[in-house]
Structure 1
Amino acid sequence: MAGRALSLRDIERLPTGTDALRRRVAALLPPGSGEGVLADAVSGLLWSKPSPPAVRAAAYRLLADLPNVRYLGQATDPTGRPGRLFAFTLDASGAQRHLVIDPVSSQVLSSSDGADGGGRNASAERDEIVLAAGWTDDVPSP
């Protein structure tokens, strides 16, 4: 998170209260990090880190409280799946990150970055698509 290695145990031990999670994540960030870096780190708990349900719930509540995070309405991810579009500015350059989230499962379907983040189905400089997410006991194939 924000360039720091976190173990599964570290992630499992993250606070499940919104204020406590904000303080903990902010403490992991480089000094002087802005709201965009905080939003980016917290959003990672939703789709790129194996976060337990209570931590995910706190991450969603925290993102909803950040003034930098905006709800932009309905959208589709790059594969055409419908979801809800959220955006935040990453840094002073104005680069945007857009997340398309499935409102039924609460899973992040995609993350797009760029000058406009690829919002509203526009092309982005970078798209990451989540095809499946979950816990498993299966060994990955080589």
Structure 2
Amino acid sequence: SYGTAKSGVCLYYALLLLLQLLISLGRRIYGLVVSVLIAGDLSTTMSLAKGFVQLGAGLSVGLAGLAAGFSIGIVGDAGVRETAQQPKLFVCMILILIFAEVLGLNGLIVALIMNTSAGSMTVCPVLYLPLDANVSKSVLRNFTPTTEAQEF
């Protein structure tokens, strides 16, 4: 009966580790979703603003996933140790892990909003300069706006 009890305890801790693995899988899926959306929107004539917005979307989901990963790792480490000493803390640990995962979900939401707003951006055919810019009049006289996108 001692061996059965020991194997039951080991199974309990294995399930805790499996739960942490499943929670960490979500952040990978968030990054994959955003990268597929950005890659599906690539074109040869893309504005600089659209590129920066898509870069910001990728950074948003990536850095939020990194922060969520650190927090889940810290909570999981301390939570497993404390749950071994006092099993009543299991539910509290799961709740804190869920709150830590919400960081990654917020990054996904921000990235989706940014990628949606980037879809409406087009190549700007006209250069707009502020009125108080120190630009000589000869530069403005020789400027001819084009309707074609410039490739770099």
| TM-score, scaled relative to structure 1 | 0.21
Q: Which has the higher strand share?
A: 1
- Whichever structure has more helix as a proportion of its residues is 2
Higher relative contact order (CA 8 A, sep 6+): 2
**Which structure has the bigger radius of gyration?**
2
